[in-house]
Amino acid sequence: MAGKPTLHYFNGRGRMECIRWLLAAAGVEFEEKFIEKPEDLDKLKNDGSLMFQQVPMVEIDGMKLVQTRAILNYIATKYNLYGKDMKERALIDMYSEGVADLGEMIMHFPLCPPAEKDAKLTLIREKTTNRYLPAFENVLKSHGQDYLVGNKLSRADIHLVELLYYVEELDPQAFGQLPSAEGPKSQSQQSPGREEISAAWQPEEASHG
């Protein structure tokens, strides 16, 4: 009975991209209604569709969901990408929040004033190389399993793979600077379904409609 989810956002990555990735990885087809002019956003605000007058908004299962994390939580739960118990879920949340922290830095980089760009890029590179990627690499190495949590694909893997694309886009050398040749990129290529996900969803296509 339920139709495809409908995604309301701008024609760009922004805060909606992780939702697109999660749906694609779950094998869910969706529709997009792009906000192309201020009046489109005004219309959504005026008809009461946006609880906090903000997007992303996703129409799914008879709801109009806002707040990126709430939307991701719902999709991950519905499509069994959120662990098998509370402990797995706690780990998935922890890893997902780490991904989000670095992801936000990268997402905001293009908005950085020109005079601050070099310093910002240096900071992102430093955090990527010395903090975030080694942390995920350590998790994968510590249990020797194919996925971050429970040896089963979860939203944490999907968020990480998405992040790896952004890191690579921003700094193609980033993975080479990792202390180990078994870095998270090579891990992810084997394990969290990078090929599968990228086959299902081409970010560039989404960005350009």
Ligand X SMILES: N[C@@H](CCC(=O)N[C@@H](CS)C(=O)NCC(=O)O)C(=O)O
User: Among the candidate windows 54-62, 105-113, 138-146, 158-166, which touches ligand X by CB under 6 A?
Assistant: 54-62
At 55, list the tokens. Answer: 């997007």
User: Among the candidate windows 48-56, 84-92, 140-148, 165-173, which touches ligand X by CB under 6 A?
Assistant: 48-56
Using the rule CB under 6 A, is 54 a contact of ligand X? yes
CB 59 within 8 A of CB 44: no
- How many residues touch ligand X (CB under 6 A)? 8
Q: Which residue do the tokens 């024609």 mark?
A: 11
Cβ closest to ligand X, residue 30 vs residue 146 = 30
Using the rule CB under 6 A, is 53 a contact of ligand X? yes
* Alpha-carbon distance values, 147 to 104, 137, 179, 190, 204 (Å): 23, 11, 20, 9, 26
User: Among the candidate windows 47-55, 106-114, 164-172, 186-194, which touches ligand X by CB under 6 A?
Assistant: 47-55
CB 103 within 8 A of CB 18: yes
Q: Cβ of 3: how many Cβ atoms within 10 Å?
A: 11
- Least CB distance to ligand X at residue 96 (A): 13
Helix and strand tally (H, E) in the chain? Answer: 10, 4
Using the rule CB under 6 A, is 55 a contact of ligand X? yes
Q: Which of residues 107-166 bind ligand X (CB under 6 A)?
A: none
Q: Which of residues 57-76 bind ligand X (CB under 6 A)?
A: 67-68
Can you tell me the distance from the alpha carbon of 10 to that of 12, in angstroms, rounded to the nearest whole number?
Answer: 5
List the one residue out of 188, 192, 69 whose CA is nearest residue 77.
Answer: 69
CB 204 within 8 A of CB 158: no
Using the rule CB under 6 A, is 49 a contact of ligand X? no
Can you tell me the distance from the alpha carbon of 176 to that of 53, in angstroms, rounded to the nearest whole number?
Answer: 42
User: Among the candidate windows 51-59, 127-135, 142-150, 196-204, which touches ligand X by CB under 6 A?
Assistant: 51-59
Considering only 6, 11, 12, 14, the residue that binds ligand X (CB under 6 A) is 14
Tell me which residues touch ligand X (CB under 6 A).
Answer: 14-15, 53-56, 67-68
